[in-house]
Amino acid sequence: MEFNPRVYHFFRWKFGEAKWERITSLGGCTLFLTDDHFVGCLGPDHNGIQGDSMYITEYTVGDWYEYSMIDGSFNRFVAEYPGLAVPLAICPLIWVLPSMS
């Protein structure tokens, strides 16, 4: 047993069969979640973003993570923003995504 096991399973809704189907790829796309809420999905052509991955923020602990469906790795990282630092208690963690229009 791992000390902090974080295993994610991904599913797609099959409309014609009215059931969930487990998937092992997002077709190169990437999901973004913040504090257990869906934020967005980017296609496979974005530099610096790993496809078939999920990026997660956890406001309660102020952490940023990347989970890879390719190899099951789960990594914490630091997001750096230009400008003044704002205490976490004042400003929740957010994702700023490029335009998807």
Give 19-77 pLDDT, tens digit per residue: 999 999 999 988 888 876 788 888 877 777 888 999 888 766 667 888 999 998 888 87
Q: Is 68 within the bounds of a domain?
A: yes
Q: Is 56 within the bounds of a domain?
A: yes
Q: Is 64 within the bounds of a domain?
A: yes
Q: Which domain holds residue 60?
A: 29-77
Q: How does 10-43 read in b/e, with b if 16+ C-beta sit within 10 Å?
A: eeeeeeeeeeeeeeeebeebbbbbbeeeebeebe
Q: pTM to 2 decimals?
A: 0.70
Q: Is 7 within the bounds of a domain?
A: no
Q: Which two tokens stand for residue 34?
A: 């913040």
Q: Is 3 within the bounds of a domain?
A: no
Q: Which two tokens stand for residue 35?
A: 């504090």
Give how many domains the chain has, as a whole number. Answer: 1
Q: Is 94 within the bounds of a domain?
A: no
Q: Is 72 within the bounds of a domain?
A: yes
Q: Is 36 within the bounds of a domain?
A: yes
pLDDT of residue 43: 83
Task: State mean pLDDT over 2-12.
Answer: 73
